[in-house]
Structure 1
Amino acid sequence: MITNDGLKQGDKIPSERELTERLKVGRSSVREALRSLELLGLIETRRGEGTFLGDFKNNQLIKLLGMFILEDPNVKNDITKTKKLLEKDIIRNICLLTDNEQLQALRKNENEDSDILFDRIMDLESNRLLYRIWDVLKSYSAEIMDDYAQLDHNSVISFLDALIEGDSEKAIAIYERKDSSRNLI
């Protein structure tokens, strides 16, 4: 419906009555669905004005899904493996960047804490959904991990240089050396 009607962020969505007719469902079902979408931040209700499409980038769906993930007793291993896969994909994607100006700027901050630097590198991922999933997994892994190793200063420099050169194999090899000493960056 959003695509068919050409609706964009900030546009008014059809009324409850119209949604009921178009979707051929009861009004209570439409109200419940709208309440759920509002809780997730996908829509915004303005008194006297109507209901509008929200900014999907700010929705809470990823965090909500994460809460369910944490209920599984095997979650520690799953989170670690998934986070590692995402980090490798993000590293590969960043190595494909044709404009490495942002990486060059990070290279100037090479003495920064490696966790902060790695977060800044991950933030260069253009796929915002991939980045948000990684960010949630990072938060959860910080809660469940007792300790983890960091890259030493020389490895941070080598890692940044590999990213700037677009050498994903070298960057991932440095990343995995760090990983083998304990956990992820």
Structure 2
Amino acid sequence: MTSEAGLSKFQSILKGIHQLIEQDELRPGDRLPSERELSERLQAGRSSVREVLRSLELLGLISTKRGEGTYLEPHHSHHLVDLLAGYILRDVKSRQDLLEVLVLLEAGAVRLAVRRAGPADIESLESWVNRMKELMEHGGNLAKAMKGFHEQIIRLADNYLLERIWHPVVQYSETLWTEEEIRDRQAKEKLLHWYRELVKSLKYKNEHQAVSVMETILEHFTLKRTDENHFVPFRCDESSR
């Protein structure tokens, strides 16, 4: 069998498993059919099915429990993050590339969120902003609240593939981060202002303004090189756009 034929069979089985998951309406935590049943339903050899399942397990998309079966993992479960982060993100350029991808994903998510967010969604985002305000005034895990806001934007984009890509990118990014509070009051006020403007832009369906504000926010979340091996996250610049 040629490598092209082998790849074609692999892709065919992979597509078949995806269709089967949709047909059976399986959700994260649900058990997949057995290897034997998959082989019968997909009309493929068990060894070929086993190869595909092993690949999916390596990617963290499924997990096998001895004596119980194979289960779908939630979208945020990516074991490759821990396995490869130390290798992929060793050099400065790779880290910068990763952050550029994050900006592109979130800017695209905002475009979709503008079109798809409803009144209840806007209220949810406003709640996140109010939470940020409380944390800025009284102390707490501000970075966690910010991430929650951005995750809500990704959900509002309502694009399954975008969400699947965003989660591991964020997880890779977090391997570089150390918690650092924004202590400057003016920086906090600027940040809160930008988040409020972003919510307002989403509310009034102003796509151009929403993307512009999101890009402004993300520029101030850029990891900055302080020495060869240390990067500082969530540092606000003195200037603003």
TM-score, with length taken from structure 2: 0.55
Aligned to 1:172: 211
Deviation at 1:90, TM superposition (A): 0.6
Aligned to 1:124: 156
Aligned to 1:161: 200
Aligned to 2:99: 80
Aligned to 1:103: 122
For residues 17 and 120 of structure 1, the distance between their equivalents in structure 2, rounded to whole angstroms, comes to 35
Deviation at 1:87, TM superposition (A): 0.4
Contact 1:42 1:59 in 2 (8 A): no
CA RMSD of aligned residues (A): 4.0
Contact 1:41 1:59 in 2 (8 A): no
Contact 1:38 1:45 in 2 (8 A): no
Deviation at 1:176, TM superposition (A): 2.1
Contact 2:119 2:203 in 1 (8 A): yes
Q: Which has the higher contact order (CA 8 A, sep 6+)?
A: 1
Structure 2 residue 107 is matched with structure 1 residue 91: no
For residues 96 and 83 of structure 2, the distance between their equivalents in structure 1, rounded to whole angstroms, comes to 16
Identity %: 21
For residues 79 and 175 of structure 1, the distance between their equivalents in structure 2, rounded to whole angstroms, comes to 17
TM-score, with length taken from structure 1: 0.69
Choose 171-180 or 65-74, whichever is displaced more.
65-74
Contact 1:100 1:164 in 2 (8 A): yes
Go from structure 1 to structure 2 and tell me whether the alpha carbon gap of 1:12 and 1:179 turns closer, same or farther (over 3 Å shift). Answer: closer
Question: What is the letter of the counterpart of residue 109 of structure 2?
Answer: I
Normalized per residue, the structure richer in helix is 2
Question: What is the letter of the counterpart of residue 62 of structure 2?
Answer: L
Question: What is the letter of the counterpart of residue 87 of structure 2?
Answer: E
Equivalent residues, number: 178
Question: What is the letter of the counterpart of residue 215 of structure 2?
Answer: E
SS of equivalent residue, structure 2 residue 171: helix
Deviation at 1:83, TM superposition (A): 0.5
Question: What is the letter of the counterpart of residue 80 of structure 2?
Answer: L
Aligned to 1:140: 172
Q: What residue ranges of structure 2 are gaps of 5+ in the alignment? A: 1-15, 133-144, 224-233, 235-241
Deviation at 1:160, TM superposition (A): 0.3
Aligned to 2:44: 23
